[in-house]
Structure 1
């Protein structure tokens, strides 16, 4: 839904979603902290695994710069738990099975793949300041190299 796309200065939509342990995690839980919220299509797929592992491997430098990281996908908590455990992920993954949060962030919409058009999750990343305002909104990001590019955009390299 491209009409819902967020831009710099937008107030990020609040959310409350289940994590891999089925515990509720809300954007309000990060009040006062900068947070990277990224949307990915499906746990345990090659691109999503590469992106998640890049966030895992860069979490210390992101955290030392004051950023928390949260990944959101349509996967059920059980799939998130398996993915998180298998890849030793060190940040929360949240379940958005009805893609309501993805839609609110403009990260759900029309996609094209091999000549087929369908509705799906658009790989997207948002950097929010401590009051939930969007500092950076990136849509249609590539899984490979995305975290390195994000670090450059944030001035961390």
Structure 2
């Protein structure tokens, strides 16, 4: 069992392999995902303004083990700390122009609800069990313990178009602050 709230000091840093270079400027696909409040969220119909969707591999639980070798996979470890960073900076993200913030993984909706409750998240998590968004946008994934999981990345969607992509994301426990800095440096009224 690992402490999910602290990152090991020697985590391998993910390298930019170009797997997200094709995303800026693309329209958000018509993919509807179940949110933790029971709502269906259509990514191509998020409305006006900026939506921040941070995509991550999987959130561990305090009573469970992470996949074997998890700390050795560049970019895998840190989903709980990333969620906490988005929680802690949620108000600032909204003040800087994020109309909506979502977390997204391939974990099921029940699992996601537990994460929202345990971590006291002020935003919804989205469940993409079938990796439909990965198929529609050719998003990067990896294999661990027989599971196909998302590589960590963040989409900024504005008025139905992918405006900006953060990839690779590191360190995950400071990523909301990276998004916040970008939102402040790139106001939507430009």
Alpha-carbon distance in structure 1 between the residues aligned to 2:21 and 2:29: 11
Task: Return the match for 1:65 from 55, 75, 96.
Answer: 96
For 1:91-110, list aligned pairs within 5 A.
91-110=123-142
TM score, norm. by length of structure 1: 0.82
TM score, norm. by length of structure 2: 0.69
Shift in alpha-carbon separation, 1:119–1:140, aligned structure 2, 3 A: farther
Task: Return the match for 1:50 from 61, 69, 81.
Answer: 81
Rg larger for = 2
2:150 matched residue in structure 1: 121
Which structure is higher in strand share? 1
Which consecutive residues of structure 1, in runs of 5 or more, have no partner in the other structure? none
Asked if 2 retains the 8 angstrom alpha-carbon contact of 1:20 and 1:77, the reply is yes
Which consecutive residues of structure 2, in runs of 5 or more, have no partner in the other structure? 1-17, 62-76, 186-190
Q: Deviations over 1:52-97 (max 9, x none)?
A: 1111111111112221111110111110111100000011101100
Alpha-carbon distance in structure 1 between the residues aligned to 2:36 and 2:126: 7
Moved over 6 A (4+): none
Task: Return the match for 2:176 from 106, 124, 147.
Answer: 147
Asked if 2 retains the 8 angstrom alpha-carbon contact of 1:126 and 1:136, the reply is yes
Q: Tell me how far 1:19 sits from its aligned partner.
A: 1.4
Aligned to 2:134, the other structure's residue is in SS state helix
